[in-house]
């Protein structure tokens, strides 16, 4: 993963969501089909998937093999845990 990649994830909830769901996407020989599946799993509009996917691949956050970078996975897990902890604090 390139050094600026964590900054990208920190600044973009869309990139974060896409990178978190990438390993669950069933890939197809047809890129459009793969992106449609990714959009469905992530809840991100297909137009955004098509626009944002190159950023994830070029920065080596997501790999065409279906993997997400290990450092990115740790950031995603930390971000998810922080969200759970924040939710607990807000409850009466």
pLDDT value at residue 91: 46
d(CA 29, CA 88): 43
What is the predicted pLDDT for the residue at 92? 46
Long-range (24+ apart) CB contacts under 8 A made by 43-49 are: 43/17, 44/14, 44/17, 44/18, 48/14, 49/18
| Residue 83: predicted pLDDT | 61
Q: Which residues of the chain fall below pLDDT 70?
A: 1-3, 83-92
Q: What is the pLDDT of residue 85?
A: 55
Contact assessment for residue 26 and residue 37, using Cβ atoms and an 8 Å cutoff:
yes
Q: Quote the pLDDT of residue 5.
A: 83
CB atoms within 10 A of CB 77: 11
Residue 90's pLDDT is 47
pLDDT given at position 15: 95
């Amino acid at each position: 993963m390139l050094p600026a990649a964590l900054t990208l994830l920190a600044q973009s909830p869309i990139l974060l969501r896409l990178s978190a769901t990438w390993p669950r996407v069933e890939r197809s020989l047809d890129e459009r089909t793969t992106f449609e599946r990714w959009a469905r799993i992530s809840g991100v509009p297909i137009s955004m998937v098509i626009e944002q996917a190159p950023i994830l691949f070029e920065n080596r956050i997501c790999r065409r093999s279906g993997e997400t970078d290990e450092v990115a996975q740790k950031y995603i897990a930390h971000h998810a845990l922080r969200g759970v902890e924040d939710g607990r604090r807000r409850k009466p």
